[in-house]
Amino acid sequence: MEVHLSFDDYCRHYATEESCAEKIYREKWPYGYHCPVCGHNEASVIRTRRLPLYECRKCRHQASLTTRTVMEKSKTSLVKWFQAIYLLSHGATAMQLSHSIKVTYKTAWLIAHKIRHAIKQLIAETPLTGDVRLLESRYGITERFHTWAVHRPMIAAASIAEDGRMNHVRMEGVAAGHLFRGLVTKEAFHQFIHRHIAADADITATAGLHHIARHKPLFRFSLDANRWMNRIYFGIGPKHLKSYLDEYCYRHQFDSQEEPSFTDLLHQCAIRPAIPYRQLILTAS
């Protein structure tokens, strides 16, 4: 599967619940079953349910194949989940998912955010390393029926390859409490660095908006992300802004890689726990 498949070919490859379940098993347990409680590597398989149930032969702990994956406790078929993962890796919206995989908009919205939460967990675990550029930028929420936009501060950072290309990018909005006269404070930069950049990284930072020419590619990237959010979603509010920025940054890192983004995203969804619905709707950026 380490190839770039069209959506139709991908759907044919994962056309049944069984083929999807086999893929989840390989991603979740690449070296065979591993009990999450006691670490034992043998289990009895109970196949009387829609999805296999694995019972550890040592401690008797039972777990579904989708336990601690983004698909846990979901009533949506694995086939539709797999299709959603492919489509979101290519930038699909919840509305597009709803039409393509034939689910309600609410279900598509929830699936998309659960997938984004897997991306968010990955990004939180992988700080930028090496030569890192850091700057202050802006994002604007454009009203759907108006031409004006409200511009808010944002911090963007990127790890830079030897050829000058941006390998990985991190972005997030800045809360009002971390602004002084509309500009990002040093404390906001320090917190961003602590969350997203390795301690031994070589950081070149640019504060304010008057020296962005030093990091034009990164500034353009942040503007492109802003345009994407405005064009597709007519702007994203602060509640879910981080999730959409993480998605945009995640997809960028595969632009120059041979591995297709849906291959890695499928892996992330198979090894990371789902965000509970209540937590999702209460989440602040």
DSSP letter (8 states) at residue 51: S
* Residue finishing a domain among 125, 155, 189: 125
Range(s) of the domain holding residue 16: 7-125
pLDDT of 181 above 90: no
pLDDT of 145 above 70: no
User: Is 68 found in the same domain as 158?
Assistant: no
User: Is 135 found in the same domain as 254?
Assistant: yes
Give the 3-state DSSP-derived string for 60-96, with helices as H, strands as E and coil as C. CCEEECCCCCCCCCCCCCHHHHHHHHHHHHCCCCHHH
What is the average per-residue pLDDT within 184-199? 94
Rounded CA separation 225/51 (Å): 39
Rounded CA separation 127/203 (Å): 13
Enumerate the H helices of the chain as residue ranges.
Answer: 7-13, 17-28, 78-89, 94-101, 105-125, 186-196, 216-233, 241-252, 261-271, 277-282
pLDDT tens per residue, range 74-112: 999 999 999 999 999 999 999 999 999 999 999 999 999
What's the predicted TM-score (pTM) here? 0.90
Q: State the chain's mean pLDDT as an integer.
A: 89
What is the average per-residue pLDDT within 229-243? 86
User: What confidence score (pLDDT) does residue 258 get?
Assistant: 67
pLDDT of 171 above 90: yes
User: Is 137 found in the same domain as 117?
Assistant: no
Instruction: Tell which wins on pLDDT, 162 or 207.
Output: 162
User: Is 173 found in the same domain as 112?
Assistant: no
Please count the structural domains in the chain.
2
